[in-house]
Structure 1
Amino acid sequence: MRWSSDEAVSAADLQALREGVILHGRQQAQGSDARDIACAVHDEDGTLLAGACGRTEFERLYIDYLWVHPDRRGEGLGGDTLRRLEAQALRRGCRDALAETLLDDAAAIYEHLGYACIAHVHDFVPGFTRHTLLKVWRARD
């Protein structure tokens, strides 16, 4: 056997580890229907103005990233982007949506858009609280 640590662990090995853990978890849960989901908006020049991405799985939308170009923040573009992503998830049969953020302002925006904070960890990263938020469209049994 040959051990490696830190920077000596290749990017391919790191990716294989991630994929192995995810695959194992999905095999335990059975019935995974994971699919990537995304939406984006560009200006007439093709510059990305906002976007969101994540996955749908087990009748849930998992939001990984929601981003708005700094010059366009405060215009409602983030909320519009999120609503479009949610509409896609609803068409896929999702019952709820889960988001996490380290930013208090972002958590407040999610709450304004109908999400409820179900957990938070203070000082998750020094000076930042990790917020876990859930929006329920149809209750689970």
Structure 2
Amino acid sequence: MQEWKRDQELGPVDLDAIRDGVLLHGRQQAQGSDAQDIACGLYENGRLIAGGWGRTEFQRLYISYLWVRPERRGEGLGGATLRQLEAQALRRGCVDALIETLLDDAAALYEHLGYACIAHLHDFVPGFTRHTLLKVWKPRD
């Protein structure tokens, strides 16, 4: 017997199965996936004050999250965190890095750090533009 479930009727295990199935299928199509989590965190007196998290795959750094405690923003910690992730990715053999943001100020910071806007979608969320930025260290063949 088949049965549709919607929204909250699906539990975390079901949602994980959907996500994992899509990722597995895509990676099987592309072949040669070497996906590996990448992360760094800056601590002060044992307290996390900045960090980043993403993955490296197919010689690309994908930055999913870049965060700085609100009271510590404007001190250059976001840029320092990004440079830490980039250094790790370069050691892994990555040739470029991809990051997205909905914040114009963050996009300007990434451009200042060598990223180029390759796409943007105005009003992705009302009042916000989605910026996709790429930094190339070595051109791909």
TM-score category of the 2 structures, normalised to the smaller one:
over 0.9
Offset of residue 75 of structure 1: 0.6
Equivalent runs, 1:1-141 vs 2, <5 Å: 1-44=2-45, 46-141=46-141
* Amino acid aligned to 2:67: W
Alignment length (residue pairs): 140
TM-score (norm 1): 0.98
Superposed CA deviations along residues 43-83 of structure 1, whole A, max 9, x for unmatched, are 11x11110001000000000000000111111111111110
Residue type of the alignment partner of 2:19: R
Runs of 4+ in structure 1 displaced over 6 angstroms?
A: none
Q: TM-score, normalised by structure 2?
A: 0.98
Cα shift readout 1:103-124 (whole Å, capped 9, x = no counterpart): 1111011001000000000000
- Percent identical among aligned pairs is 74
| C-alpha RMSD of the superposition | 0.6
Please list every run of 5 or more consecutive structure 1 residues that lacks an aligned counterpart in the other structure.
Answer: none
Once the two structures are TM-superposed, the CA of residue 9 in structure 1 deviates from its matched residue by 1.2
- Equivalent-residue separation in structure 2 for 1:6 and 1:66 (angstroms): 29
Q: Distance in 1 between the 2:71 and 2:128 partners?
A: 24
Gaps of 5+ in 2: none
